[in-house]
Amino acid sequence: MPSMRAVLEARQKAAAAQVKELEAELERVRVALADAEEVHRRRVIGLEQYLEALAEEEASADVVGEAPRRKPVGPRRAVPHRRHASGVAELAPDYQALMAAAVDAGGDGLGARRAAVVLGWDSASVSRVEGARARLKRLVERGWLVEAKPGRFTLPLWGAGA
């Protein structure tokens, strides 16, 4: 029969081996997490660049006065440039809601996450927040809002008292 000391030493060795095995697994998980975070970061940047390119394409089509090559899907309307519009009422309802939220936000400005909430979208969804940011940027490009601080959208000076 093994001695008590031998039994305890065997248990200690088994526990030490399990600790080493779990430490190795933890390191593998940490590396996998870092890799996944990097992929996610690149995809977010890619989505932002795609949305910016789309907004630039729409802006250049409006500037040149070209008709869009494809018909927009759904009830979406083009955002008129501020100088060609008589008021906020000419904007589509979702853009009107963003303008109202910008007025409510005042000098602090409206952020993309809050804009997603205003649009009734899930503010935890990166794609929805980026979609809201693209709409805010479109309002900036058309002269309805300004982005004085990165990510904070406010009314231009002409809109402060209106």
Model confidence over 83-141: pLDDT tens digits? 888 888 888 888 999 999 999 988 889 999 999 999 999 888 888 999 999 999 999 99
Query: Rounded to whole angstroms, how far apart are CA atoms 58 and 159?
Result: 24
In the chain, the percentage of residues whose pLDDT exceeds 70 is: 85
pTM above 0.75, yes or no: no
Among the listed residues 143, 145, 66, the one whose alpha carbon sits nearest the alpha carbon of residue 103: 145
Residue 87 pLDDT: 85
Of 7-11, 33-37, 47-51, 147-151, the least confident: 47-51
Answer yes or no: is pLDDT of 48 > 90.
no
Neighbours of 132 (CB within 10 A): 25
Residue of 57 and 73 predicted with greater confidence: 57
Query: Rounded to whole angstroms, how far apart are CA atoms 71 and 69?
Result: 7
In the chain, the percentage of residues whose pLDDT exceeds 90 is: 40
Among the listed residues 155, 112, 106, the one whose alpha carbon sits nearest the alpha carbon of residue 134: 112
